[in-house]
Amino acid sequence: MPWFPDFVNAVALVRRQTREAGQADPVAEYLAALSTGDSDRLETVWPGEVLILDPRAGEIRGHRQLRRFVHTNMRWLAEHGAQVETTATTCVEGRAVVELMAYLDGGQVAWPVAVVAESPDESSVVFRSYCSQWPVDGRRHIRPPILTSTAVLPGDAVGEFQAALSAGDAEALVNTFLPDGYYREPIGEHATHRGVDELRSFFGTRLASGNGARGIQVQPCVVTDDAVRCVVEYSMVRWGAADLPPQAGLAVYERGNNGLLAAVRVYDDIEPPV
């Protein structure tokens, strides 16, 4: 059958093209799988290990667990009539961070979610998702750390913001923003604080939630910085006088033209200590 080698070569070509397209936009492939409940293309793009670290489902490792996970998510998204929009993408070699807004229940709920995709090698991928579950079920869920604290923050407004946060200095935090800059909490679009007055009020209240002490301690784990947006995956360990169970989160620092912060968007499920 002289056509058989050509058929095999064609299949191999399609598989290679599928892998190249998927690796060029891994989060899009991941979201497509969650929407359709079909993991076949993900398994084709990454025939090695697929590892998912999800705040709701925990750790999903390997293709068998992957199939179960995407099928369950497809049903959940369909039940809630989810519509997902990409709001920002930050890419550095080998890693992509995509910020999303999922609109649930006919648009009544706006749910911010961030997904990190990282490939340790050509055949494997890790997806790390960050969000608050408050918009979905009205509860905060403690999420243990998923990364080790090894990163160094840049010395610009991002580092200044973290230093002011650690010191509990609300005015210094406000000074890292542009006059019309904003801070968005992880619980949705409605929890956005824009401009000097709103930021000063928000940070003053937030930093006063520490049992009499001020300052919030965050350990940076992974930094993804494309010079416009700096994405920091972190573990929060202390709030004021209270040691917290270390909890995983992600923050996006978007720089303005003069180096000050145009926006800070946070994705975690951490609440002030009582």
Residue-wise pLDDT for 2-13, tens only, equals 454 543 333 333
Mean pLDDT of all residues in 236-261: 93
Q: Is 43 exposed, middle or buried (0-12, 13-18, 19+ CB in 10 A)?
A: middle
Distances from the Cα of 169 to the Cαs of 108, 164, 172, 191, 236, in angstroms? Answer: 36, 5, 5, 21, 17
Residue keyed to tokens 């009020």: 201
**For residue 212, what pLDDT is reported?**
57
Q: What is the pLDDT of residue 20?
A: 52
Q: Could you tell me which of 64, 31, 36 has the C-alpha nearest to residue 50?
A: 64
> In the prediction, which pLDDT does 231 show?
98
pLDDT at 14: 36
pLDDT in tens, 82-132: 999 999 999 998 899 999 999 999 889 999 999 999 998 889 999 999 999
What is the predicted pLDDT for the residue at 273?
79
Portion of the chain with pLDDT greater than 70, in percent: 89
What is the C-alpha separation between 69 and 72, in angstroms, rounded? 5
User: Is 80 exceeded by the pLDDT of residue 134?
Assistant: yes
Would you say residue 1 has pLDDT above 80? no
pLDDT of residue 16: 44
What pLDDT score does 209 carry? Answer: 62
Is 29 strand, coil or helix?
A: helix
Tell me the mean pLDDT in the region 258-269.
96
Say if CB 153 and CB 220 are below 8 A apart.
Answer: yes
Quick check: 213 and 197 in contact, CB under 8 A? no
Looking up tokens 């925990």 gives 58
Give me the pLDDT at residue 214, please: 77
Domains annotated on the chain, with CATH: 3-131 (3.10.450.50), 157-267 (3.10.450.50)
Model confidence at 18, pLDDT cuts 50, 70, 90, reads very low
Q: Is pLDDT at 211 greater than 80 in this prediction?
A: no
Q: Please give the model's pTM, rounded to 2 decimal places.
A: 0.90
CA dihedral (37, 89, 114, 26) positive or negative: positive
pLDDT digit string (tens) for 19-47? 455 467 899 999 999 999 999 989 989 99
Residue 37's φ and ψ, nearest 5 degrees, are 75, 15
Helix (H, G, I), strand (E, B) or coil at 28: helix
Dihedrals phi, psi of 264, to nearest 5 degrees: -130, 125
d(CA 231, CA 265): 9
Check residue 182 and give left, alpha or beta (phi > 0: left; psi -120 to 50: alpha): beta
pLDDT in tens, 160-175: 999 999 999 999 999 9
Q: Is the pLDDT of residue 159 over 60?
A: yes
Question: What pLDDT score was predicted for residue 11?
Answer: 32
**Mean of per-residue pLDDT scores for the chain:** 88
Residues 210-231 have a mean pLDDT of 88
